[in-house]
Structure 1
Amino acid sequence: MIHIDLVSLGQRAAETVPSLLRRIDLKGGDRDPTLRQFQELCLNLHTLAAASLLVDGEPRAFREELHNAASQWLRFLQHQHAQHWEPPPASRNTAFLGAVLAGHWELAQRLAELTTNQWRRGEEYEDDACWAILLHEFVLTQGRGNARIEALLARLDELGGTLNGDRVAWARALLEQKVGALSDAFSGLLQLHQEEIEERVLAVTASEVKLAPYRFLWFEGLALLRLGARAGIAIPDGYYPYCPPLARLPLERTGATA
């Protein structure tokens, strides 16, 4: 099992981010190296965010770093569109999830608008693409349904499996304003995430640097909690692993907008 030293990794990220920003050249770079640069930048900003919350206990700084990461990813997507490059997969969405969980709704909406709404075959699983696009739609509709959401839910149903079943159940509960069903589906997704992250920590190929921001913070789960609250059906307060209370404070407490 790898050990995550978030204190030293946060310090390293703080030192690395300025040099990463200086290295990005949007005047002459090609797609793949530019994409990798922005991915590395977002990873370091997420590490800073995690350290701000879990080491320093600063939810405001946590949300500021998530905003910075989402803003940089938006910068890449805007450049990608201008250059007519092939888009990254929709499921490469940690920056978007960070904007959602931090309540930066306008930024999350811009990311949802600019992210591809098509499955990138060979680069991601179809169900992961459907789920990512579905979350984009929930941000754009503020939790209300539309024809695209129904089509995505139908496809997830067809693809089947426990994970997709919980995803569909959560989405249906949100649309139908059913708090109990939303809570049950969230618990199912949380259990699956817990199993997955523990497997990743034990893997021989596990990377301390790549896992650091996400080892103790479930970005997707925190985003789901925020989406539910925005739709007016917050699940009951309680202890949820990987979703610490400091990351779930009411938005007005730290200056974000609901």
Structure 2
Amino acid sequence: MNAISAPPQRALDVLRGLIVPLALLALWEGCARAGWFSPVVLPAASAVAVKWWQSLLPAQAFDAAEQSRLAWMFSGEMVHDAVASLYRVVVGFAVGAGLALPMGLVMGASARVYGLFNPLLQVLRPIPPIAYIPLSILWFGLGNPPAIFLIAIGAFFPVLMNTITGVRHVDGIYLRAARNLGVGQWAMFTRVMLPAATPYILAGVRIGIGTAFIVVIVSEMIAVNDGLGFRILEAREFMWSDKIIAGMFTIGLLGLAIDTGVSRLNNHLLRWHRGIEH
């Protein structure tokens, strides 16, 4: 019975979640068509949808006779920019999380190491990644390296702090039980502390990816010549509001897809954890 009723319930939840967005789109379209505000300031939702579709579809998708006529209209640049942004997010997050995870595990497991590095981290952690933009350009120039550097910083601290918190807050009952069973230090770390800290670590990963996606948009407005952030800034220079909103919409869709994927991965990896249903 549950298996039969689950798909309709999920469909009902999706439809319920679409009510407010669709209502806002209808209100937006109605106000724009009524002329309540300038199309330069806020174009109609339909105009944004048309611009978004034109930015997704390249002229090469049409036959040879139509390509020359439609080349000015269909650019396909949105796909290229989305791929460029995702590449920077993945590489930058991999660098930041790859440094933060082992450092967080060591700091969480060793009070001595924690006391040694924590003061410096507490000074650096409140500094937003955007503040590093001038240094990143001085150190790395323009292009992908400064953007990846900024994204790595944005992903580093959420993963690091959550990892430290997870390791340091392992329930003492588990540790005492393992000691009573004669478990060694390495086994204690890998078989008890690390699994118990996994929910915290994965929460940090989810936050870190979200932060990386925010930072990549800012970095692309400064240091690179492609990507969604660059395209939005370019559209602002020419007052192409429809293109700006289409880029923002693409960012929202990519962010939703990434967050949904990470959330499902978390649920899969934490099937054993109390409160997570199979």
| TM-score normalised by the chain length of structure 1 | 0.29
More helix by share: 2
User: Based on CA coordinates, which of the two structures has the bigger radius of gyration?
Assistant: 2
| TM-score normalised by the chain length of structure 2 | 0.27
